[in-house]
Amino acid sequence: MGFPIYRPRRLRATENLRSMIRETTLSVTDLIYPLFVVPGKGIKKEITSLPGNYQYSVDMVMEAIDQVASLGIPAVLLFGLPSYKDATGSSAWDDKEPVQMASKAIKAKYPELVVITDACLCEYTSHGHCGVLENGCTVNNDATLPLLAKIAVSHARCGADIIAPSNMMDGYVQAMRTALDEAGFTNVAIMAYSAKFASAFYGPFRAAADSAPSKGDRKGYQMDPANVREALREVELDIEEGADIVMVKPAMAYLDVATKVHETFNRPLCVYNVSGEYAMVKAAAANGWIDEKRIVMETMLGFKRAGAKMIITYHALDVAKWLKA
């Protein structure tokens, strides 16, 4: 039955009517705020490529955590810059490094706040790759797995609720799940970066985390942006190995992948609204070319519409404030 009997505009006439039939909603509880913690004291340094976001020393990060808690954002994702780097990234499983110390501090003050920790080696290795190198620029997958397991246990020991491995090694979820269980951390969850693409959208993050590879690239372990069915295979493998939450990263250019993952698998889906996506919006808004609030909120709804249950975003503080306004 079509026009003139059915007129869709009838139910768009007022805000109350529109809200009554709205199919997708956004909540503060959908948000995860990423934070960068660094060695030292008294440090709060704005990240030039991520305006409004900062590198914090552990003693200063609680300033951001207090704001997160007051806004009702349920979770943070911690990235660390270490005090030392070496070929194997051994500082990544050092309990005295920034991620571990920040986790302890956060859980001491806000035990209910969900602490998610990034578990990778790129920030910690002297070469900037996500694993043990062989022949100069090839990551040895199987030699890397025990190191990732060490990171998971270290983070759990220091209070992490969810481990978020972003390395894209084959078998990484199984290695970390096994290590966590053997160490008694059966209730610590894994949020797998299951479909992480070798993307140009990561540029600002790599500057913020000092994690760009010294030579070569990550195309040998991160996914080809052209592939959807491969992403589904990766997600399936991670679920079989014990992933509690699966992720698609980046988000904006990969919503077709996110939708297929949501429709195919019975696991909560997280999307990562990555640094390049954030930086483009901030740059355009700074030049007066777009309405930042409307663009960001529309983008967040797009993530939810695609099936995301959780959204990691550098916009989290602003989105939470706008939702509460």
Catalytic annotation present for 196: yes
Query: Cα–Cα distance between 234 and 197 in angstroms, integer?
Result: 11
Residue 34 tokens, joined: 């990423």
Sole residue written with tokens 């699966």: 246
Residue closest to 323 by CA, chosen among 92, 313, 137, 178:
313
**DSSP 8-state secondary structure symbol assigned to residue 134:** E
Largest CA distance in the chain: 71
Query: Cα–Cα distance between 42 and 39 in angstroms, integer?
Result: 10
- The kind and range of the H/E element at 162 are strand 162-165
Catalytic annotation present for 215: no
The torsion defined by the Cα of 226, 232, 233 and 235, in degrees rounded to 10, comes to 120
CB 261 within 8 A of CB 221: no
CB 60 within 8 A of CB 36: no
Sign of CA dihedral 313, 314, 315, 317: positive
Residue closest to 103 by CA, chosen among 70, 151, 146:
151
Q: Which of 41, 44, 104, 196 is catalytic?
A: 196
**DSSP 8-state secondary structure symbol assigned to residue 224:** P
Residue closest to 274 by CA, chosen among 217, 317, 312:
312
Angle among Cα 62, 63, 66 to the nearest 5 degrees reads 75
Q: Which of 249, 260, 282, 304 is catalytic?
A: 249
Beta-carbon contacts of residue 116 (< 8 Å; ≥ 6 apart): 32, 75, 76, 77, 78, 160, 161, 162, 163, 164, 191
CB 49 within 8 A of CB 275: yes
Active site residues: 196, 249
